[in-house]
Structure 1
Amino acid sequence: MIDTADPYAAYAALRTAGPVHRIAGPDGSPSWLVTRYDDVRRALADPRLSVDKRNALPGNYRGLSLPPALDANLLNMDPPDHTRIRTLVTKAFTAGRIEALRGPIRRTADVLLEPITARGAADLVPEYAAPLPITVICDLLGVPVEARPDFRSWTDTMLTPPGPDEARAAIGAMLRFFAGLIEAKRSAPADDLISDLIAARDQEDQLSDDELTSLVFLILFAGYENVVHLIGNTTLALLDDRSRWERVRADRSLLPAAIEEVMRYDGPAPLAIRRFPLEDLEIGGVVIPAGETVLLGLASANRDADRFPDADRFDLDRAAGGQLALGHGIHYCLGAPLARVEVAIAIDALLDHAPGLTLAVPQSELRWRDTIRTRGLTGLPVKVG
C-alpha cells in the first residue's frame, strides 16, 4: 500500500525489493508498476508500449470514461496519428506565443497577490496556485473572460468529482462549451491557440472534429492541474527550509534550478500515462504479458539513488538534467516550456510580494490529495508576515 501523504518510503521499499511489481492501479485494476530509473526511462521511449486503450486486454483497464469527442487525444494515440497531431500542435504552440504570455502571466500573478498581501494570510492553493494557470490557459486558448468561472468549476469537478453523476454533468457541459467555442472561432478567428488549431484542421494536415475538440480538452488539463500542484509543491519545498527561500529570494537565477529540483524531488505527476505492451515484454527481468496495464513510476525513478546521489535530499545545487517528471520520448510533455515559465513567474512574484512568507500551520497538518495519480496539496495556508 502506498501512503499518498508520504509515498516515497514505499517507493524506496519497492525499488529495493525489485524493479517491477504487481499492484492495483489508480482505477483498481491490476497493473504492473516499474520503479527504477533506468527501466522507467527506457520504457517511456519504447514503441512496444502503446498508450492506445484499444491495445488493452478486455476488462484489464478501467480508466476514466470520456465521450469520443474528448477521448481522441494525444494521451490515447500511438504513431502515426500521434505524430501527425503533435506536429500540428507544435506549429501552433510556438516559443513566440509562450514568450508573449510572460507579461500577462506576471500581471495576473500581481493582481492575485494584492489582496493576499493586504489581508496578510491566505490559502495559496485556491487563492493563487489554481486561478493563475486557469487564467493563463484560458488566455492561450482564447476562452472568453465571462465563461471562465464555469470553465474552472467544470475542470475542478472533473478532477475531484463528488460523484459519477456530477462528473458526467461536468464532462457534458465542457463538451458542449468546446463545441460552441470552436464553432465561434471558426466563424471569427482570433489570435489564440484554438484559432490556429482550427486553421490547421481546415488545411491539408487535417484534424477530425473529435481530434480537435480532444486536443483543446487535453491542453486545458495539461496546462492546469499539474501547474497548480507544481506551484504549491515548489512553494512548500522552499518554505520547508528557510535557507532555500532566502537563497532564491536573494538570487533569482536559482529559480530554474529550484523548479527542476522540485520536479525531481516532489513532482505533481507520480505516474506516467498508462501503457499496454503490444507483445509480451520484459522489463527489469519481469515478463509482462501483452495488453496488461503498465504504470511507469516517475516519482519513484526520480528518487532512485543509482541515478541521483542522496536522492531523498532536496538540493538547490544538484546538477541539472535527467529528471523524468515531464516524461521522455515522443510523449514528453508538450507544454513543458509554458509550465516552467508559469511556475517561475508565480514564485518570482510571490518572493516579491511576500518576502516574509511562512506556513500558517505546522507542516504535519497539511493534506495531500488522496491518489497515487496526483501529488498535490489540498491547501497551503500561509502568513505573509
Structure 2
Amino acid sequence: MSGPLESQEFSRDPYPLLAALRERGPVQRIRTGNGRTTWVVTGWTQARAALADGRLSKNTARYFAGRPAHRNLAPAVSRTMLATDPPDHGRLRKLAMKAFTPAAVARLEPRIREIAEELAGAVAAGLAARGTADLIEDFAVPLPIAVISELLGVPERDRAAVRRWSNTLFAAADPDDVVDRASHELSDYMTELIAARRDSPGEDVLSGLIAARDEEDRLTEPELVSLAVLLVVAGHETTTNLIGNGMLALLLDAPLRARLTADPGLLPGAVEEFLRYDAPLTVATFRYATEPIELGGARIAPGDVVLVSPGAANRDPAQFPAPDAVRLDRPTGHLAFGHGPHHCLGAPLARVEARIAFEVLLTRLPGLRLTDGSAGTGALRWRRTRLMRGLAELPVTTSERRPRS
C-alpha cells in the first residue's frame, strides 16, 4: 500500500495535498508506503532553514548501516554526492562545479541555441506533416539530454538507453527490482564509458574528472563513477521538467505568451517564476536528523526522516501572495534549486537552457496551442515519479495554416 506522496493523485497534482498539510502546520508527520512515518516540510521559512541545517544529514549509507536491506541499488546511484555530508560533499562538489560556472555556461550558449533551433525545426516539420507534436518527446527531453551528453562525452547512439535508465530510477510505479536493475545498468555503462575516456581522453567534463582521479588522486574510482552517474541524470531530468511545465503554463495563458513573445528580455524572470510556480522537483532528496531538532513547531527526533518540499514551499502564501498564479513581477526567492550546501550546481545551465528553449519555441512556433481535449492539467498525463514533477507528454498543434499538398 502506497503512502499519499506515492499516489497517482499526488503525481497528477501534488498541490492540494501539500496545501492541506501546510494548513495544519509547516512541518507535519505523515505515513509512508512502507508503514513508517516521515516529516514533510511545506512552509517556505522552515524549508529554507532545513535545507541549510547541518543537523539534517544526507548520508544514506550511514543511515541504512545495520538496517535490513530490501533493495539492491548500485552504489554509484545510492551513494552519489547528493548522499554525502561535509567534508566529502564539498570536495566532490568543488571538482564538479567547474563545468557549471556562469562563465562556462555562457560558452555553451551558442551550441544550446543551435540544438534548440534544430529541434524546433523538427517540431515544425512534424506539425506540418501530421498536425500534432509532443513537446516533451520532441523537444523538452532531447534538448537537455543532448547538452549534458555532449558535456560528458556520451555518444549519441547511447543517449536513448541513458534516458531509459534514468526514467526508471524515478519511476514510482515500477517494481523495486526493475529500478535496482536499471541502476546497475546505468552504473555499468558509466564505468565502461570512463574506461573508454581514460584510453582516449577528450575535452569533455568526464575526461577532466578522470584526470582529477588519475593525476591528482582526489577522487576514488567509485566516487568518479557515482559523480558521472549523478551528472548525467540530474543534468537532464529537472531541466526537461522545467521546460515542459513552463511551456504548459504558457500554453494555458495566451496574454503571458504574447507578452514574452513581444519582449524576450522578460524571459529570465519568467524562468524564475516557472521554477517557483511548478517546480521540477516536488520533494527534495532524503534527509534525516542526527540530533533533536525543533522546526516549525515540530520536535524531530534523532533518526527521523525529513522530506523538504520545494514545490510546497514555493507556493507558501506567507511568502508568495496569490501563489497559485503566474506573475512576472515577483521578487526572487524560490527554492526550486534548493538552498545551502546542496544548492543545485547545475542551476546556471538549467536557467540558460530553459531561457533559450522558451525563446526559440515562442519565436519559431508562434501559433502553438494545446490539442483539443488537453487544455487543462487534469486532461494531461503526468509522470509517476519519485520526487520529480513533470509531464509524460505535452500534445500540441498549431493555429497556423498547414500548406496544401
Instruction: Specify whether residues 191 and 371 from structure 1 end up closer, same or farther in structure 2 by C-alpha distance, changes over 3 A only.
Output: closer
Distance across 2 between alignment mates of 1:111 and 1:28: 48
**Structure 1: distance between partners of 2:210 and 2:312:** 39
The match for 2:263 is 251
Q: Distance in 2 between matches of 1:60 and 1:322?
A: 38
For 1:346, which of 357, 365, 368 is the aligned residue? Answer: 357
Partner residue in 1 for 2:135: 124
1:369 paired to 2:380: no
Deviation of 1:367 after TM superposition, in Å, equals 2.0
Q: AA paired with 1:199?
A: A
Deviation at 1:284, TM superposition (A): 1.2
State which of 307, 311, 329 in structure 2 corresponds to 1:295: 307
| In the alignment, structure 1 residue 318 sits paired with structure 2 residue 325 | no
Report the CA distance between 1:94 and its aligned residue.
3.8
CA-CA distance at 1:181 after TM superposition: 1.1
Deviations 1:206-227 (A, max 9, x none): 1010100000100111111111
Q: Secondary structure at the match of 2:315?
A: coil
Q: Quote how far apart the aligned CAs of 1:6 are.
A: 2.3
Distance 1:158 1:53 in 2: 16
Q: What is the SS of the residue equivalent to 2:245? A: helix
1:145 matched residue in structure 2: 156
Question: Offset at 1:177?
Answer: 1.6
Structure 1 residues 269, 29: closer, same or farther in 2, change over 3 A?
farther
Counterpart position of 1:194: 206
* Match of residue 402 from structure 2: none
Q: Deviations over 1:115-157 (max 9, x none)?
A: 3212322011111111111111100101122322332233233
**Aligned equivalents of 2:31, 2:242: Cα separation in 1:** 26
Matched position secondary structure for 1:101: helix
Residues of 2 paired with 1:97 and 1:106: CA distance? 15
Rate the CA distance shift 1:140–1:71 in 2: closer, same or farther, 3 A.
Answer: same
The CA deviation string for residues 66-125 of structure 1, in whole angstroms up to 9 with x for no partner, is: 222333311110001001111111234443432222122222122222232123220111
Secondary structure, counterpart of 1:362 in structure 2: coil
Distance 1:314 1:336, change over 3 A: same
1:261 Cα offset (Å): 0.6
The residue number in structure 2 matching 1:335 is: 346
Look up the equivalent residue of 1:139 and give its one-letter code: E
Partner of 2:228: 216
Give TM-score scaled by structure 1 length.
Answer: 0.93
SS of residue matched to 1:256: helix
Q: Which position in structure 1 is the counterpart of 2:54? A: 47
Supply the distance in 2 between the matched residues of 1:26 and 1:38 (Cα, whole angstroms). 27
In structure 2, distance between residues paired with 1:233 and 1:156: 17
Equivalents in 2 of 1:340, 1:346: separation in Å?
Answer: 10
Of 372-381 and 298-307, the range deviating more from structure 2: 372-381
TM-score when normalising by structure 2:
0.89
Letter of the 1:216 partner, please give it: A
Task: Tell me the CA shift for residue 158 of structure 1.
Answer: 3.1
- How far off its partner does 1:26 sit? 7.0
Deviation at residue 257 of structure 1 after TM alignment: 0.9
Contact kept in structure 1, 2:41 and 2:308, CA below 8 Å = yes
User: Is the contact made by 2:100 and 2:348 (CA closer than 8 Å) also made in structure 1?
Assistant: no
Amino acid at match of 2:237: E
Deviation at 1:378, TM superposition (A): 1.2
Summarize deviations over 1:265-301 as a string: whole Å, max 9, x none.
Answer: 1111011112111112111121111111100121111
Q: Aligned partners of 1:49 and 1:92: how far apart in 2?
A: 28
Q: Which one of 230, 241, 261 corresponds to residue 273 of structure 2?
A: 261
Give RMSD over aligned pairs: 2.2
Q: Counterpart amino acid of 1:376?
A: G
How much does 1:14 deviate? 1.5
* Gap change, CA 1:55 and 1:290, over 3 Å in 2: farther
Deviations 1:216-239 (A, max 9, x none): 100111111111111000001111
Q: Distance in 1 between matches of 2:92 and 2:161?
A: 28
Tell me, which stretches of 5 or more residues in structure 2 are unaligned?
400-405
How far apart, CA to CA, are the structure 1 residues paired with 2:116 and 2:64? 46
Query: In structure 1, what is the Cα distance between the partners aligned to 2:273 and 2:125?
Result: 31
Secondary structure (helix, strand or coil) at the match of 1:382 reads strand
User: Displacement of 1:259 after TM fit?
Assistant: 1.0
Q: Distance in 2 between matches of 1:92 and 1:286?
A: 39
Query: Closer, same or farther in 2 for the Cα pair 1:229/1:25, shift >3 Å?
Result: farther
8 Å contact kept, 2:170–2:387: no
Change (3 A) 1:312 1:162: closer
CA drift at 1:56: 2.9
On the 8 A contact 2:99/2:105 being kept in 1, the answer is: no
Offset of residue 333 of structure 1: 0.2
Q: Which amino acid aligns with 1:359?
A: L
Summarize the Cα distance change of 1:27–1:195 in structure 2 as closer, same or farther, 3 Å threshold: farther
Query: Deviations 1:163-202 (Å, cap 9, x if unpaired)?
Result: 4444344323222221111112122211100011111122
Residue aligning to 1:16: 23
CA contact (8 A) 1:92 1:197 kept: no
Alignment of 1:89-128 (within 5 A): 89-120=96-127, 121-128=132-139
SS in 1 for 2:327: coil
Percent identity for Structure 1 against Structure 2? 44
In the alignment, structure 1 segments of 5+ residues that lack a partner are none
